[in-house]
């Protein structure tokens, strides 16, 4: 039996790029429940792509079983769920936690919108999962998918027509404003990073065999891409075509509307989780009862209204 037990003293929440994630744990003896200090206590942090950002780094200790580590979230951090693994020596204890990096402080917004407040009727970690699921679901609704589409070979790129000639690697999508469909905060093509692809594609060789393309997004707004074979070599002149899969933003898309949509959808999911508030605490019921009795599905209806507004711009000034 492990002698030491790691107890998280504060719930992990949602963080934004540039924030500091402060990890704070208390270690107690399993048998006596007294504070315990193993020889070492270290932390590993993995990003949503499985990349190890912090590897077995020692945590600071105040000598009474309390350990901490201050992690600075990079300005280009990938959005999503991060894995935090705490290790101790002596009796080899390991425990895993999670935190999320998100484009905005959705945890606070959703608590306010849903009426569950800050009294932890739903834990931060559980709420963060609902928010992330809502975020991914909303992403599927606000963008337009283009499938098996050839690049616009005749678009002007440096005043030259883009062709497959065995040396050219510069192409454009037929439609501009490539979207961050996977929601990781960066718009990338197949092969640019270990996970998270917004643009993928194939090229067909002279024998009609489909082969994967390596794609780099040079300019998402203009749709400029670098497309090569997986080896990085230009696609041969004998190729029968290049075909892309990608998503684009609608003309009426805005980050403000999208964030509102996610907040409403996550709030709806929270209310469903409570069985439309029947299992919520008395404090929550008092703060959110109007939501229930006016219209239990008001949050979802508002989400759908915003999505329609994003996907279909107003006509003649009518909302």
- Assigned CATH class of 142-249: mainly beta
Return the exposure string of 40-54: e unless at least 16 CB atoms fall within 10 Å of the residue's CB, then b. Answer: ebbbbbbbbeeeebe
125-162 burial by CB neighbour count: b if 16+ within 10 A, else e? bebbbbbbebbeebbebbbeebeebebbbebebeeeeb
Average pLDDT, the chain: 83
pLDDT at 91: 62
**33 or 74, higher pLDDT:** 74
Sign of CA dihedral 288, 289, 290, 292: positive
Rounded CA separation 53/77 (Å): 10
* CATH code for the domain defined by 4-101: 2.60.40.1930
Alpha carbon distance 205, 207 (integer Å): 5
Predicted TM-score of the model (pTM):
0.77
Q: Among the listed ranges 31-40, 77-86, 209-218, 245-254, which one has the minimum average pLDDT value?
A: 31-40
> Is pLDDT of 61 > 60?
yes
**Domain pair 4-101 / 142-249, same fold:** yes
Q: Taking the domains of the chain in order of start, what are their residue ranges?
A: 4-101, 106-140+257-311, 142-249
Phi-psi domain of 263 (left: phi exceeds 0; alpha: psi -120 through 50; beta: other): alpha
pLDDT confidence tier of residue 312, bands split at 50, 70 and 90: confident
Residue 267 CA to residue 134 CA, distance in Å, equals: 9
Tell me the pLDDT tens digit for each residue of 26-48.
888 777 777 877 878 899 999 99
């Amino acid at each position: 039996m492990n002698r030491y037990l790691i107890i998280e003293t504060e719930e992990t929440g949602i963080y934004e790029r540039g924030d500091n994630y402060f990890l704070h744990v208390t270690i107690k003896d399993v048998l006596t429940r007294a504070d315990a200090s193993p020889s070492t206590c270290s932390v590993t942090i993995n990003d949503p792509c499985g990349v190890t950002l912090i590897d077995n780094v020692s945590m600071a200790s105040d000598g009474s079983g309390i350990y901490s580590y201050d992690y600075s979230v990079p300005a280009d951090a990938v959005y999503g769920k991060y894995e935090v693994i705490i290790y101790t020596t002596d009796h080899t204890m390991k425990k895993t936690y999670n935190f999320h990096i998100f484009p905005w402080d959705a945890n606070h917004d959703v608590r306010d919108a849903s009426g569950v407040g800050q009294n932890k009727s739903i834990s931060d970690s559980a709420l963060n999962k609902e928010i992330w699921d809502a975020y991914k679901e909303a992403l599927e609704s606000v963008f337009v998918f283009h499938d098996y589409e050839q690049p616009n070979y005749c678009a002007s790129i440096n005043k030259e027509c883009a062709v497959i000639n065995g040396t050219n690697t510069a192409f454009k999508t037929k439609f501009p404003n490539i979207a961050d469909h996977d929601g990781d905060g960066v718009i990338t093509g197949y092969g640019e990073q270990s996970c998270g692809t917004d643009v993928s594609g194939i090229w067909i060789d002279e024998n009609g065999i489909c082969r994967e393309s390596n794609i780099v997004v040079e300019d998402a707004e203009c749709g400029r891409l670098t497309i090569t074979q997986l080896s990085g070599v230009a696609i041969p002149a004998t190729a029968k075509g290049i075909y892309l899969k990608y998503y684009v933003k609608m003309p009426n898309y805005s980050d403000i509307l999208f964030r509102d949509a996610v907040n409403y959808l996550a709030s709806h999911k929270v209310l469903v989780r409570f069985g439309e508030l029947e299992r919520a605490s008395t404090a929550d019921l008092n703060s959110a009862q109007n939501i229930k009795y006016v219209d239990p599905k008001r949050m979802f209806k508002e989400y759908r209204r915003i999505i329609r507004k994003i996907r279909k711009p107003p006509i003649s000034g009518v909302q």
